[in-house]
Amino acid sequence: MSNFSKGFNYQRPDKSIHDPTLAGPLWVYGSLLLSWLLDLLPSSHWPFFPSFLVMTLIFWAIHQPNRIFYWLAFCLGLLTDADTGAVFGQHALTYCVVVFCAELMSVRLLWLSPISQAISLLPVFLLPAVLKTVESFLLSQQSFDAAWFLQVLLFIVFWPLWVWFLSRRFYLG
C-alpha cells in the first residue's frame, strides 16, 4: 500500500485482526481439518444437517481463493468417501462444484453482510442435495430423501455463525 492511500485511510480503525483475508495458512487449513472432523459427529447422520466442510470451503473460496485448490477439495472429498463408505468420488465432486460456484460469486459476496451472503449463497447450498439426488437416481440407489433439501434452511441459519467463528482466527496466524 502506498503512502498516498494511507493518507486517506488514517481515520479508519484497523480491524485487520478479524479480516479473513489476512488469516494465515495455519488457520485456513486448520479450520478445514476441524470442519472435516466436525462432519464426523453423530449430527451428520441427520439428512437435514449441514456440512461444516462445505461452509468452510465456501468461506475460504470467497476470502482466500489463492489458498483453496481443487486438488485439496478433491482429496478432502475422497477422505469423506472412504470414511463414510459412499461411492468413491461422490463427495469429491460435491466439494469441487461447491468451490467453483463460490469462486464465481466471490467478488459480489465480498460486499455483502454475512446474513445477505447466506441468502445469496442459497443456490450453492442447494448443490450438495441436488448432486446427491442426481447420483441416487443415476447409480440406482433408489433412496431419495426429501429431507436433504431441508439442509438449505439450516445452511442459511448456520452460515452467519460460522462466518463469525472463522473470522476470529484465535491468534492462529
Lookup: cell for 87 = 461411492
Give the span between the Cα atoms of 58 and 55, in whole angstroms: 5
Closer of 72 and 156 to other proteins (Cβ):
72
Closer of 96 and 124 to other proteins (Cβ):
96
Give the span between the Cα atoms of 13 and 22, in whole angstroms: 16
Interface residues with other proteins (CB under 8 A) are 1, 9, 15-16, 18-22, 33, 36-37, 40, 42, 44-45, 47, 63, 65-66, 69-71, 73-74, 77-90, 92-93, 96-97, 99-100, 103, 107, 110-113, 132, 135-136, 139, 141-143, 145, 148, 167
Shortest Å distance, C-beta 42 to other proteins? 7
Question: Where do we find the cell 449430527?
Answer: 43
Closer of 43 and 157 to other proteins (Cβ):
43
Q: Diameter of the chain by CA atoms?
A: 63
Side chain identity at 25, as an amino acid letter?
P
